[in-house]
Structure 1
Amino acid sequence: MRIFIKSAFLLSFVLLGLSSFSQSKVIALDDKGFKEKVFDFEKEKEWVFKGDKPVIVDFYATWCGPCKRVAPILEELQEEYGDAIQIYKVDTDKARAVSAAFGITSIPSFLFIPAKGQPQMAKGAFPKATFVKALTEVMGVKKVIKEK
């Protein structure tokens, strides 16, 4: 019985660690995923954010050179900010409905969504410092300092 309790405790600890680890990754969304996790653009007429923390949505395409240059920056930011934010990526060639709903005509484009308030769209391949400034000043997110 004691071994079972220790095993159950260890398993729950491992699963908890894996779930928080998976949340610190950039997540790809299709039209359905966007409607479930961010905003149901087909159902709602006004902005109703479905998330509970600040989000950056990267509208990109696999063939886009500037998008490829920005992708590692977004991965770094997700890792550095951890669970304080979530970064999603939307392939405009596959998620045509959400791309049309937000009027995406230029990529990369980024939707900055604060936990409360209205989202803001920006176009272009930005350096990391610009994303950090937007997270701090527009979205009110402070960088999480991780202990090593």
Structure 2
Amino acid sequence: MKKIALSITAVALLALSCTNGSATSLKNSDQEVNAATTSVSDKTGDDQSEGSGKPVYLTKQDFLDKVMNYEKNQSEWVYEGDMPALIDFYADWCGPCRKAAPILEELAKEYEGRIHIYKIDTEKEKELASVFGIQSIPAFLFVPQKGKPTMSNGIAQTDEETKAMFKKMIDEILLGEGAS
């Protein structure tokens, strides 16, 4: 598990930082990705439910139930979800993270019933951010129904380019629909 975390950290260090505004996709095809604890508070205070067409803030138990039960599966990635997922690692102070938020809300509506969009605050969930090697934000974990997840860092220059980047990765990685 430490090797994986170290590998992910090394890749993240090479990834683009929060301030430069471009995206890089990192395919983790040769390694198992292991998750750690997460406990994300619901920023809205609403009782968000999946299928609501909105991103969902995860609690630790939600993460264990819906994404990866690292307590049960410590040596391999076993996705617990019923649909592919996009996980947004963000912080409230991060400008590009704030820029990505409304785009992810639009995509949650557009892809409702086909993918889940989850949010994890890296300021509150430092252990999880560390295990995934999150060194720059925003960072996005694309978790297909089967297979290994893919990490992407940063966003594009404009809202339109950012939305197109997300749609391409969702279609190719999560839905297996190829280039659109």
TM-score, with length taken from structure 2 = 0.63
Structure 1: gaps spanning 5 or more residues: 1-18, 143-148
Q: Deviations over 1:36-57 (max 9, x none)?
A: 2211234422101010111000
Identity, in percent, stands at: 48
Q: Indicate the residue corresponding to 2:75 in structure 1.
A: 45
The change in CA–CA distance for 1:129 and 1:107 in structure 2 (over 3 A counts) is same
User: 1:23 Cα shift?
Assistant: 3.2
**Which of residues 164, 167, 171 is equivalent to 1:129?**
164
**Which of residues 103, 120, 125 is equivalent to 1:90?**
120
> Greater CA radius of gyration, 1 or 2?
1
Task: Decide which moves more: 97-106 or 61-70.
Answer: 97-106
Q: Which runs of 4+ in 1 moved over 4 A?
A: 19-22
Count of equivalent residues: 124
Higher relative contact order (CA 8 A, sep 6+): 2
User: 1:137 Cα shift?
Assistant: 1.4
Q: Indicate the residue corresponding to 1:81 in structure 2.
A: 111
TM-score, with length taken from structure 1 = 0.76
Task: Decide which moves more: 41-50 or 81-90.
Answer: 41-50
Indicate the structure with greater helix content. 1
Residue 169 of structure 2 is aligned to residue 138 of structure 1: no
Q: Is the partner of 2:112 in helix, strand or coil?
A: helix
